[in-house]
Amino acid sequence: MKSTSKEIRSHCAVNYGVEIFGDRWSLLIIRDIVFAGKKTYGEFLKSEEGIATNVLASRLAFLEQQGILSRAPSPDDRRKDFYTLTEKGLDLIPIVLNIVLWSAKHDAKSYVLRSKEFVARLSRSPAQVGEEVKALVRNGGCMFPDGKE
């Protein structure tokens, strides 16, 4: 896990972003919240990429320490914690959406190509879609609640 006590290598804008959210697991956790509505450790663990339990625990803790995620006990089961994006985390949604557009363009097998209407709308109005998705996630929703990207 990246420690919050270590110094940032440089304050280059790209480096700062990469050090905070630029590893694959952090972006996939954010993806799971935004697109699939996942909220718990167990839900994140079930993602098809197969994250190791220790890696997931450290990434969740790091993202919480960095102010990207907040954690609260589940109202239904106090043994589970719910993870949600903070405002700082919500500000990453446009970045994730740009990755989606890039992948749709360069990966002929990208799952998002199943949602041609979404890709077309995102291509036409990325800022508007980004704000709509931020509002949706801020209010507890997700892009594909049925699990079909």
CA dihedral over 138, 97, 146, 75, signed as positive or negative: negative
pTM for the complete prediction? 0.87
- Mean of all residue pLDDT scores within the chain: 89
Integer angstrom CA distances of residue 103 from 17, 76, 115 = 20, 37, 13
pLDDT confidence of residue 126: 95
The pLDDT of 52-71, averaged and rounded, is 95
Q: Where are the alpha helices (DSSP H) in 51-124?
A: 53-65, 87-90, 93-106, 116-124
How many Å apart are CA 87 and CA 24, to the nearest integer?
A: 21
Whether the predicted pLDDT of 1 surpasses 50: no
